[in-house]
Amino acid sequence: MSEKLTQLRKDLKYEKTNQCVQCGYCLPVCPTYVTMKKETHSPRGRINLIKMVGEGRIDDLSVLQEPIDLCLGCRACETACPTGVEYGTLLEAAKATLQKEKKHSLPAKLIQKTLFKKVFPSRSAMQWIGNSMWIYEKSGLRKVVQKSGILKALPYNLDQFEAITPPSVSPSKRAELPREQEAKGATKYKVAFFVGCIMDAMFHRINELSIKLLAEVGCEVHVVRNQTCCGALHAHAGELDDSKELAKRNIAAFEQEKVDFIVNNAGGCGAMLLEYDHLLADEPKWVERAKAFSNKTKDISQVLSLCGGLQVDDHPHETVTYQRSCHMTNVQKVTKEPVQLLKSIPNVRFVEMNQADMCCGSAGIYNIVHYDESMTILDEKMENVKATEATTIITTNPGCLLQMKLGVEREKLSHHVRALHLVEYLAEAVGIK
């Protein structure tokens, strides 16, 4: 075997493709196979292409580009897989290998580099974005821009996303989250709260409410300093070195405070945090510390349930449904708690939608860079949502939340259907503002 092929096999983690027996059990759960209707865009097809490249039967790496780019990374195939193929690992390895070879256009490279290296990891930069959004909204600029039609000229259909951007928090209200929040009543657990980058910038309020809910059920909450972005977006883009760097910073930051759990409220971030031990498996100095970190990682719904849930005495009658976060389902394997919490609210009728485990098409920045494919997936999702007759769609991840808001807009349902994060709905039910 040539040296080049040996290296390629190593980069692509070729030996892991042999776990796939090509049974096809992943086909019906793969959103891209179901909507694009060809094997090239199925998990089994992608694994086969990686295998063919690794075996030198295809010597042109570019055959992987489109199939890998169009994968949402929802990892529903891992849940369906009977033989335990590590699809997520193969996907990230393929992305990193392509990234190595890729010749991005200079501006695209620069933007990505700035976002990944400077913006997401920096809380002050992300806060600046949050504040800018507030200024944009409050100054009336938003209305002017909306009327001008200038948005239509934006690339990637960004005009569609403008409508669903959440109302921003003013700089004065955006003050730092509390460093420490006492538990209401006796302390059941001491927890550290993971703030996240997108959550902090765009959904600051959900973070505040999360901390209050945790305190409500008996958690003493700490917001440790120097924590940063989880690194998921970097990993999904094939920038594994950046992810590792961020993982190390987070591990070190959270070691400052001795806590029972590290709690997050974003399905995608939670999945990344939970896999830090995988990410750092090749680094002997870090792997044990990463394991300790991953073992403490919990989604907020798990901790709320563990503390006995919330006490709600009365609530208006309402039908709700839940768009499951793929990474919460397929990586964190947290599926019961959000539903139990919803069902515990009096007069709330929970209706599971058909194909609840199917991705909504949000998938990080997929809905921006692969707009058409994403909207086809979303439109199928919305049919299932409508069939439930729910007036609130619950989500547990910021990407899903934005996508569901977009779905509500596209279907012109905004006068009677809303999309909320689970935390917002629970806080509203308990009367926390």
Partner 1 sequence: MEQRLLEQIKAIVSNGRVLTEKNDLFSYSFDGSFGTFVPEVVVQPKDVQEIAELVRWCNTKKVVITPRGQSTSLSGGPLPVKGGIVLDLSVMNEILEVDEEDLVAVVSPGVLTSDIHKAAESKGLMYPPDPSSSHVSTIGGNLAENSGGPRGLKYGVTKDYVLGLEVVTPQGDIIQTGGRTVKNVTGYDLTKLIVGSEGTLGIITKAILRLIPKPPASETVMAVFDSLVDAGAAISRILSSGILPAKMELMDQASMVAVENYEPSGLPTDAEALILIELDGHPAAVKDEAEKVSDVCKQCGAREVRVPQTAAEKADVWKARKLVSPAIVRIKPTKISEDATVPRSKIPEMCRRLQQIKEKYNVHLVVFGHAGDGNLHPNIIADKSDLEEMKRVEQAVTEIFEAAIELGGTLSGEHGIGTMKAPFMEMELGAAGLDMMKRIKEAWDPNNIMNPGKIFPEPGQKLVLTE
Residues that bind partner 1 (CB under 8 A): 18-19, 21-25, 27-28, 37-40, 42, 45, 48-49, 52, 57-58, 60, 63-64, 66-67, 82-84
Of the candidates 432, 430, 431, 396, the residue with the CA atom closest to the CA atom of residue 419: 396
Return the SS3 of 318. strand
Q: How far is the CB of 355 from partner 1 (least distance, A)?
A: 13
Output 17 or 210, the one with its CB closest to partner 1: 17
Minimum gap (Å) between residue 356 Cβ and partner 1: 16
Q: Which is nearer to partner 1, 59 or 180 (CB)?
A: 59
Query: Is the Cα torsion angle 194, 198, 200, 203 positive or negative in sign?
Result: negative
Q: Which residue do the tokens 């909204």 mark? A: 137
By beta-carbon proximity to partner 1, the closer residue of 53 and 304 is 53
Start-end of H helices in 217-325: 232-236, 240-254, 267-274, 276-279, 284-296, 300-306
Closest separation in Å from C-beta 358 to partner 1: 14
Taking the least distance from each CB to partner 1, the nearer of 36 and 432 is 36
d(CA 391, CA 373): 26
Q: Cα angle vertex 357, ends 296, 204, to 5°?
A: 55
CA distance to 105, 232, 360, 405, 422, per residue, from 356 (Å): 38, 23, 9, 17, 16
CB of 25 to partner 1, least distance (A): 6
Task: Pick between residue 9 and residue 222 the one whose CB is nearest to partner 1.
Answer: 9
- In this structure, what are the phi and psi dihedrals at residue 181, rounded to the nearest 5 degrees? -125, 125
Q: How far is the CB of 7 from partner 1 (least distance, A)?
A: 19
Min CB(149)–partner 1 separation in Å = 36
Which residue, 52 or 253, is less far from partner 1 as judged by CB? 52
- What CA–CA distance (Å, rounded) separates 49 from 424? 43
